[in-house]
Amino acid sequence: MTNVSETQSSATLASAIFAALREEILSGALPPDSKINIRELCERFDVAFSPVREALNRLSTQSLVHQTDRRGFKVAPVSLEELVDITRARCLVNESALRASIEHGGRDWEEEIVLTFHRLIRTPRDDRSPGESAWTQAHRRFHQSLLAGCGSTWLLDYCGRLFDAAERYRLIGLSAGGNWGDADAEHRAIMQASIDRKADEAVSLLCAHFEKTKAQLRTLIG
């Protein structure tokens, strides 16, 4: 019979390994299409096979790693076709979540958008630092705040996964010499339209924000 404490310990280890590998994939520290050596991961994290396998299976469900055969894994590749698909999906899903938030979000929702925006513009950009930068975290929280009033955990989950998928491309683009310039004005306009309850304008600005990122990445990814 499996010991309950052993099961909990294995799950905790798997979660920690999942978080570490996810950050490395999103930041580009683990390059696209690179092979993942399970034995090396076991040695690196000083764990048995099971928690590493569980972490990789979880990453696979998020399309961050692919299974190459019955036991092998590799980091998911990148392509212009996938970038286009991610951007299209982001526009569709974020539109639904943002419209619902504008319709149903209360004063707390508005205040959180303003707060996360001001934190974002006051956070120095340091995208080339190892791991996830403070600006990247602030950027994620701002985009989450826009959608937080939608009332759907499913929508928020999908939007979060799509954000991470797009963020991976953005960081890979930066490592390839891309320069996103100053996005503060775009974020400010999205914030203002959202709290002013101008749904059509807010959605248009948000989708244009996504499309601009895609356009800047095309020459770097394609």
pLDDT at 130 over 70: no
Confidence of residue 218 (pLDDT cuts 50, 70, 90): confident
Confidence of residue 129 (pLDDT cuts 50, 70, 90): low
Tokens for 83? 């970038």
pLDDT of res. 88: 97
Q: Which domains does the chain have, with CATH numbers?
A: 4-75 (1.10.10.10), 80-221 (1.20.120.530)
pLDDT of res. 81: 92
Tens of pLDDT, residues 45-97: 999 889 999 999 999 988 899 987 766 899 999 899 999 999 999 999 999 99
pLDDT of res. 187: 96
- pTM attached to this predicted model: 0.81
Between the alpha carbon of residue 163 and those of residues 36, 99, 110, 207, the distances in Å are 24, 18, 21, 13
Confidence of residue 127 (pLDDT cuts 50, 70, 90): low
Confidence of residue 192 (pLDDT cuts 50, 70, 90): very high
d(CA 65, CA 30): 11
d(CA 142, CA 163): 11
Q: Which long-range contacts (CB under 8 A, 24 or more apart) does 79-87 make?
A: 79/221, 80/218, 80/221, 80/222, 83/166, 83/169, 83/214, 83/217, 83/218, 83/221, 84/214, 86/162, 86/165, 86/166, 86/169, 87/166, 87/210, 87/211, 87/213, 87/214
Q: SS3 letters for 97-165?
A: HHHHHHHHCCHHHHHHHHHHHHHHHCCCCCCCCCCCCHHHHHHHHHHHHHHCCCCCHHHHHHHHHHHHH
pLDDT of res. 178: 58
Give just the sign of the alpha carbon dihedral 204, 161, 159, 181: negative
Q: Which residues contact 68 (CB under 8 A, 6 or more apart)?
A: 35, 74
pLDDT at 24 over 70: yes
In this structure, are residues 180 and 216 in contact, taking their beta carbons and an 8 Å threshold?
yes
pLDDT of res. 29: 85
pLDDT of res. 180: 59
Q: Which residues contact 98 (CB under 8 A, 6 or more apart)?
A: 146, 147, 150, 194, 199, 202, 203, 206
d(CA 23, CA 164): 10
Residue 101, burial from CB neighbour count under 10 angstroms (0-12, 13-18, 19+): buried
